[in-house]
């Protein structure tokens, strides 16, 4: 039997998808999304709430995810940590909301270290490694030095905004690691600003988005005809909702679509100190104002497809249940902590007009291994193949295993990995896969 799509566009428009996609990352707690569009890819920088619940923000590093279709996100691992700023920053906690900006062939990440100031880290690629070029805080004004947002205007002048409970700004120099003039305080009238500014520009109008109205926070915005204000309060974008008493937004325009990114407390055991990033697509109103954007479980629709005949990293996924990710210098990032009943979904794979015949994956196990069922379109959909992951001699002793397809597959489909094995036992690690 052959499963064939009528066409890519029809398949994408009418896909029946059984899983929610928000929050977009299920393997870790993530917060304070900072999207950066670069080379036809959305790079999403986030900070990271550690799993341990200490009744406060337990944050030690900054992570990166990327996507070209807005539904499948690749975990690119850690890009910086408190150790990056070990010359001056506290090392026990406090890696709060950052933003990254490309300029002159380099990438500049503005990273607040709670109670120590705002640092700048520089890298040659979006993935890092980011290093501290000045060995001291870029901003060390007060205990309010959190949540930086960086913006480069059309004339090349860059501005850095930050602050809680009021916004500050400086004019950045062209080297992006120093600034000119004094630190200036801004106000938003009526005064609803709290923290988490995001500065952007559209059709000649400047937008300052931010968390507002105290605890619990909503997300609001103000506008100005100048990047230096004065700012006129325009209203609430996202009302207060969910288990997280904070919120923090970023916006991105990508391939003709506008996206609003924020965080929630929707993951299991999540909440105010275990947050998770989510995304909604939106359209500006005709007069340039923001619509009201409400959180959804569904998330956004895909705007592209993936090629299943190219090597796909296992940490690229649209949705997962139960699994985690780890990384090391030799392997990079890989999927781990796989147990019986866990699952992963990768969306909108375009198999073309000719079915592949085999499925290959790289796996490792220090125990008895396990089984991976590969299905399309749902967790109970047609079974393409069953791959047996054996004992390989260690959790990072990788073997490449190939299984023959039982069923031909063409066109565009979602791919489901369903894991089976001994109850309660860790089964195997999963590094990459592809069809041939």
H or E stretch at 142: none
The catalytic position among 32, 75, 313, 315 is 32
> Considering all CA atoms of the chain, what is the largest pairwise distance in Å, rounded to the nearest integer?
71
Q: Residue 410 CB: number of other CB atoms within 10 A?
A: 16
Q: Give the Cα separation of 176 and 110 in Å (integer).
A: 10
CB count within 10 Å of CB 303 equals: 18
The answer to whether the CB of 384 falls within 8 A of the CB of 361 is no
350 tagged catalytic? no
> What pairing do the DSSP bridges indicate for beta strands 324-328 and 332-336?
antiparallel
Please name every residue paired with 318 in a beta bridge, in sequence order, or none if there are none. none
Tokens representing 436 are 């041939």
Alpha-carbon distance of 190 to 222, in angstroms, equals 10
Distance between alpha carbon 61 and the CA centroid of its chain, in Å? 14
Provide φ and ψ at 23, rounded to 5°. -65, 155
Rounded alpha-carbon distances, angstroms, from residue 56 to 91, 93, 273, 330? 16, 10, 6, 34
Distance CA(383)–CA(373), nearest Å, equals 7
| Closest to 200 in 3D by CA, of 237, 165, 241 | 237
Query: What is the full DSSP assignment across 307-339?
Result: -TTS-EETTEESEEES-EEEEETTTEEEEE---
Does 23 sit behind a cis peptide bond, omega within 30 degrees of 0 on the bond before it?
yes
**Which entry of 47, 75, 132, 195 is annotated as an active-site residue?**
195
Task: Judge whether 79 and 62 are in contact, CB under 8 Å.
Answer: yes
- Which has the closest alpha carbon to 57: 276, 274, 240? 274
Q: Return the DSSP state at 416.
A: E
- Measuring CA to CA, which residue among 384, 361, 386, 358 is closest to residue 372? 386
- Catalytic site includes residue 195: yes
Nearest-angstrom CA–CA distance, 139 and 136: 9
Asked whether the beta carbons of 117 and 139 are under 8 A apart, the reply is: yes
Instruction: Kindly report the backbone phi and psi dihedral angles of residue 406, in degrees, each rounded to the nearest multiple of 5, phi listed first.
Output: -85, -20
Q: Which residues are bridge partners to 38 per DSSP?
A: 41
**What is the set of active-site residues?**
32, 195
């Amino acid at each position: 039997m052959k499963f064939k799509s009528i066409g890519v566009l029809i398949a994408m428009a009418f896909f029946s998808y059984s899983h929610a996609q928000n929050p977009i990352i299920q393997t870790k707690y993530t917060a304070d999304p900072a999207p950066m569009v670069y080379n036809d890819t959305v790079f999403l920088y986030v900070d990271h709430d550690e799993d341990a619940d200490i009744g406060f923000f337990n944050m030690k590093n900054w992570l990166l995810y990327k996507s070209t279709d807005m539904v499948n996100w690749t975990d690119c691992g850690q890009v910086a940590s408190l150790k990056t700023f070990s010359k001056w920053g506290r090392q026990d906690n406090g890696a709060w909301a950052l933003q990254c900006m490309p300029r002159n062939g380099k990438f500049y990440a503005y990273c607040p270290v709670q109670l120590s100031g705002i640092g700048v880290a520089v890298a040659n690629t979006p993935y890092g490694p980011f290093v501290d070029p000045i060995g001291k805080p870029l901003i060390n004004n007060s205990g309010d030095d959190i949540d930086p947002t960086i913006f480069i205007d059309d004339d090349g002048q860059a501005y850095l905004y930050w602050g809680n409970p009021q916004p500050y700004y400086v004019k950045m120099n062209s080297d992006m690691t120093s600034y000119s003039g004094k630190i200036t305080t801004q106000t938003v009238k009526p005064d609803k600003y709290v923290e988490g500014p995001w500065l952007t520009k559209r059709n000649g109008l400047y937008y300052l988005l931010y968390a507002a109205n105290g605890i619990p926070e909503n997300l609001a915005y103000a506008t100005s005809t100048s990047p230096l204000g004065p700012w006129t309060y325009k209203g609430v974008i996202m009302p207060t909702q969910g288990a997280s008493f904070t919120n923090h937004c970023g916006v991105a325009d990508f391939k003709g679509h506008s996206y609003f990114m924020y965080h929630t407390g929707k993951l299991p055991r999540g909440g105010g100190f275990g947050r998770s990033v989510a995304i909604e697509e939106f359209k500006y109103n005709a007069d340039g104002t923001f619509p009201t954007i409400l959180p959804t479980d569904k998330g956004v629709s895909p705007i592209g497809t993936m090629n299943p005949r190219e090597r796909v990293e296992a940490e690229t996924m649209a949705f997962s249940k139960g699994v985690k990710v780890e990384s090391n210098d030799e392997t990079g990032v890989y999927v781990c902590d796989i147990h019986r009943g866990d699952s992963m979904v990768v969306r909108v794979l375009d198999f073309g007009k000719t079915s592949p015949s085999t499925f290959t994956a790289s796996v490792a196990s220090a125990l008895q291994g396990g089984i991976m069922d590969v299905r399309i379109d749902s967790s109970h959909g047609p079974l393409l193949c069953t791959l047996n992951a054996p004992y390989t001699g260690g959790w990072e002793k990788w073997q490449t295993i190939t299984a023959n397809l039982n069923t031909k597959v063409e066109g565009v489909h979602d791919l489901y990995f369903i894991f089976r094995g001994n109850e309660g036992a860790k089964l195997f690690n999963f590094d990459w896969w592809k069809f041939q």
